[in-house]
Structure 1
Amino acid sequence: MIDPMEWISTEREKILQTYQDLHLLAEPSWKEEKTSRYIREKLSQAGFRVQTYKEHFGFIAELEGESEEVIALRADMDALWQEVDGVVKANHSCGHDAHSTMVLSAALALAKTKPPLQHTVRFIFQPAEEKAEGALQMMKEGVMENVKFLGGIHLRPSFELSFNSAAPVILHGSTASLKGIIKGVPAHAARPEEGKNPLEASALLIQAIRQIRLKDDKKYSIKITELHGGEASNLIPENTRFTFDLRAEANDTMDRLLEKAQYVIEKTGELTETEITFTIEENSPAAVQHPEAMDVAKQAIQSILGDEHIIPICQSPGAEDFHFYTRKNPGIAATMIGLGCDLKPGLHHPNMAFNKEALIYGTKILTKLLIEADQRQW
């Protein structure tokens, strides 16, 4: 049997070319048609069973093992829609092209070298991570059926992890956007007593939100990030529109923060005699540490990079919809590996760049992760 790590080394140029191909195919959330087709064709040619879905471009590919129990890897495929050098376009500045490259390459490594597998191995290629909707949709399709272990990977900025290092877990926080409308009563600015000013209600709401305090040792924040209202200097408008950004280190902290915010909104509406409606959007859960999954990831990193390049935990204030898989399936063993790759200036920066050599050792870590996970009873 060919050693999978040796095979990956011999395929170095093809792996780098795959990344370049996917980078140029940048497509925003729910529009990953060409990206999906590119990856599916490579997997089908390698003998994978590929399952697609009617409503989106996500899919799964499987290698059959001795058991129907599944160990899985997940990759996200979508790009950001952002302004780059004055042009608004789809742009891979969060590394999803790299993640898809490494997961695809790990799948091909197993298919080509054919190590004996106790578990069926499933590769989940997911749409719409940037909208925090893709993982939920994939779960509706049943992709977590029989899954006992789930792994993922994410490029990390250089200020979090250095090149040639990796962490067995990324502790993302929970995030949410609270979006709402304050409906008042319009009036001429000369007769304010005849109206209910939603701008004044907005100002009161912002100050009240700023006073929210939780008896919690976990970090959290809530702040106004968007406010729109009014079209004329002599008119009290009927509506204002607002967005609050919420962040929390833990899921239970986010639950309490949302509860407090809802209470403040209701009381502000009563006090100002305005009607305030709102929705909670882009709500991603925080990571939950699974010691055994982290141990498997640690062993995989150790075997590829050595002890001195293992960083125990990568703490991130950002969010990842990967954690919906564990939030909705609390019994599952799962972890997302943080990959040091000399990424600068930072994730979501339009000119983000990283050392492409990380794609090679990242692929090896993921392949070793699956081999190690396959030896465990989950």
Structure 2
Amino acid sequence: MKFRFSILLLSILLAVSAAVSVAEPTPSAAYNRVLFPDRRCQKAMSENSTRLGASPAAAECEVWSEACSEAVLKVARQSETAEWLRGIRRKIHANPELAFEEIETSRLVREELDLMEVNYRYPLAKTGIRAWIGTGGPPFVAIRADMDALPIQEAVEWEHRSKVAGKMHACGHDAHVAMLLGAAKILKTREHLLKGTVILIFQPAEEAGNGAKRMMQDGALEDVEAIFAAHVSHEHPTGIIGSRPGPLLAGCGFFRAVIRGKKGFAADPHRSVDPVLAASASVISLQGIVSRESNPLDSQVVSVTSFNGGNNLDMIPDTVVLGGTFRAFSNTSFYQLLERIEQVIVEQASVYRCWAEVDFFEKEYTIYPPTVNDERMYEHVKKVSVDLLGQKNFRVVPPMMGAEDFSFYSEVVPSAFFYIGIRNETLGSTHTGHSPYFMIDEDVLPIGAATHATIAERYLIQHD
């Protein structure tokens, strides 16, 4: 009897052990707990999908409704999800990496995607990732986040400040990555509802090096029909979405001109060829390009920001180097500025018997085209934002002279770029990007995740 009882007990223990071992390989206990607090709900959804071909939720969201928006927001705003998003963002913030050096950031992203059982391709553009969720077939819509930090020493005193001297996430890219991972988590729970495939692009080197261009060269936009991206903004209160149709951000270029003359004593200027005079005339003449050659209704900028010559007060130098930036909201205006900057500097130098050459750093990938929102994609962002967050939480914003390498994507496929507010005076989240005092209100993270996910899912539903 004892022997039989022992065998029976052993059999029970083995059965329990087998059941546990089957449960253990789930992608992430935390992941499943956040998305399915009640495991019976997950099982019921699975059984309904198998028996009926689609869950009741799928039928309800064939046409997007308020209930669909509420379902997405409910997942995003769960305390466990919000805590996870903050943790992701803080890890990245404490370990900033510059352009094409985002090794640890990329590893963290891949680890999270692995836990979600999201497929991806890596590497693209050295550290970039292209992941996908959905049917695997068309239509394909992309969402993009940039990953790189800036060469800035952080001045914000807080627990998760940068651990790397001279490097900081001073433009919010840590938040962008966290929000896109949050969108991936939401979309994965709703994968059975997706009417196509969502491509998640984690891109290196937005700040320098044209990471978008390199990602496209490596196939990031393969089959993609539309692409969306967000940028945090201190211009708007936390959670406010802002965008506009048409030109949103300017094309941006830089120039460096070397003007050569003949060195000589300042007391005998007739024996020299003065490049200081030639460079000064060039600076004055450059201001006339915008003020006298450009349409006043077509905003453009030419700014000279550096001027370096000799350091001997008694000598006329043989060389002066000047440089600056130029901006415009259309490719036509942008490249017209580029052409005229070179002409003005070279010709003005020749007037003063000097010789000049102008470098626009095209080989270093520092020219960014304008970011222009497709009108239909903008309207999609606007409708999603209003339905998800309310009319008062969407704003039409003016164009800005800042630049973004998302513009390279917008030249290839219909796109929309939008801002998401992080301004919170109480927290001190008021400083502009690229400031050593830059910080964000982390309450934006669930909102950004939900907005990304809804933009993608609704695009697939409403795709024509």
Q: Normalising by structure 1, report the TM-score.
A: 0.92
> How many Å separate the matches in 2 of 1:273 and 1:357?
61
Name the residue aligned to 2:242.
167
Q: Give the aligned partner of residue 363 of structure 1.
A: 449
Letter in 1 for 2:431: P
Q: Residue 66 and residue 139 in structure 1: after superposition, are their counterparts in 2 closer, same or farther (change >3 A)?
A: closer
Offset of residue 22 of structure 1: 1.2
Deviation at 1:277, TM superposition (A): 1.4
1:260 aligns with 2:340: yes
With 112-121 and 221-230 compared, the bigger mean Cα shift is at: 112-121
Partners of 2:141 and 2:199 within 8 A in 1? yes
Equivalent residues in 2 for 1:37-116 (5 A)? 37-53=107-123, 56-65=126-135, 67-85=137-155, 89-116=166-193
Identity of aligned residues (%): 25
Which one has the bigger strand percentage?
A: 1
Kindly indicate whether residue 461 of structure 2 is the aligned counterpart of residue 375 of structure 1: yes
Cα drift, residue 88 of structure 1: 6.0
Per the TM alignment, residue 91 of structure 1 is displaced from its structure 2 partner at its CA by 0.9
SS at match of 1:347: coil
Deviation for aligned residue 1:256:
2.0
Kindly indicate whether the alpha-carbon contact (under 8 Å) linking 1:167 and 1:313 is maintained by their aligned counterparts in 2.
Answer: yes
Alignment-mate amino acid for residue 63 of structure 1? I
Which residue identity does 1:13 align to in structure 2?
Answer: E
Match of 2:222 in 1: 145
- Equivalent-residue separation in structure 1 for 2:155 and 2:394 (angstroms): 37
Question: Structure 1, residues 299-332: CA drift from partner, whole Å, max 9, x if none?
Answer: 22122211121112353221111111112x1xx2
Q: Quick one: distance in 2 between partners of 1:291 and 1:55?
A: 29
369, 383, 386: which one aligns with 1:302? 386
Runs of 5+ in structure 2 lacking a partner?
1-44, 46-56, 58-70, 157-163, 424-428
The match for 2:422 is: 341
Higher mean displacement: 28-37 or 229-238: 229-238
Query: CA–CA distance in 1 between the matches of 2:321 and 2:175?
Result: 37
CA distance in 1, matches of 2:230, 2:371: 13
1:30 pairs with 2:96: no
Which shifted more, 163-172 or 126-135? 163-172
Report what 1:9 is aligned to: 77
> Which of these residues, 265, 268, 271, is aligned with residue 351 of structure 2?
271
Superposed CA deviations along residues 161-191 of structure 1, whole A, max 9, x for unmatched, are 2233112448112221112211222233344
1:4-35 deviation digits (Å, cap 9, x = unpaired):
43322221111111111111121112211111
Per-residue displacement from partner, 1:110-141 (whole Å, max 9, x unpaired)? Answer: 12342432222111111111115111111111
SS at match of 1:107: helix
C-alpha separation in 1, matches of 2:261 and 2:189 = 65
- CA displacement at 1:353 relative to structure 2: 1.9
The one-letter code matched in structure 2 to 1:214 is E
**Residues 183 and 110 from structure 1, CA distance in 2 versus in 1: closer, same or farther, beyond 3 angstroms?**
same
Give per-residue Cα distances to partners, 1:189-247, cap 9 Å, x unaligned. 34433332222221111011112223411111212101112132222222222112212
Shift in alpha-carbon separation, 1:50–1:303, aligned structure 2, 3 A: same
Correspondence list, 1:163-312, <5 A: 163-169=238-244, 171-212=248-289, 213-216=292-295, 217-281=297-361, 282-312=366-396
Deviates more, 1:189-198 or 1:114-123: 189-198
Q: Distance in 1 between matches of 2:82 and 2:227?
A: 25
2:419 partner letter = G
Query: Which segment drifts farther, 91-100 or 312-321?
Result: 312-321
Q: Which structure shows the bigger proportion of residues in helix conformation?
A: 2
What are the residue-to-residue correspondences of 1:115-130 with 2, within 5 Å? 115-130=192-207
- SS of 2:380 mapped into structure 1: helix
**Higher radius of gyration, 1 or 2:** 2
Matched, 1:352 2:438: yes
Say which SS state the counterpart of residue 105 (structure 1) adopts: helix
Q: Is the 8 A contact 2:250 2:328 kept in 1?
A: yes
Residues 119 and 131 in structure 2, CA contact (< 8 A), matched pair in contact too: yes
Whole-Å separation in 2 of the counterparts to 1:283 and 1:201:
26
Residue type of the alignment partner of 1:166:
I
Q: Does structure 1 residue 320 correspond to structure 2 residue 390? A: no
Once the two structures are TM-superposed, the CA of residue 360 in structure 1 deviates from its matched residue by 1.1
- Separation of aligned partners in 1, 2:321 and 2:113: 46
Paired letter, 2:301: S
RMSD in angstroms over aligned alpha carbons?
2.2
Measured at CA, do residues 91 and 48 of structure 1 come closer, stay the same or move farther in structure 2, by a change above 3 Å?
same
Q: Residue 59 of structure 1: CA displacement?
A: 1.9
Alpha-carbon distance in structure 1 between the residues aligned to 2:453 and 2:390 = 16
Paired amino acid for 1:5? L
* Contact 2:154 2:167 (C-alpha < 8 Å) held by counterparts: no
* Residue 48 (structure 1) shift: 2.1
Please say if residues 73 and 447 of structure 2, whose CA atoms lie closer than 8 Å, have aligned partners that are also in contact. Answer: no
Q: Tell me which amino acid in the other structure corresponds to 1:135.
A: A
Structure 2: how far apart are the matches of 1:251 and 1:133? Answer: 17
Q: Is the 8 A contact 2:373 2:414 kept in 1?
A: no
Deviations along 1:45-98, one digit per CA (max 9) or x if unpaired, are: 222222223762122112242524421011111111124449961111111111
The whole-number CA distance in structure 2 between the counterparts of 1:34 and 1:97 is: 12
Q: How many residues align?
A: 373
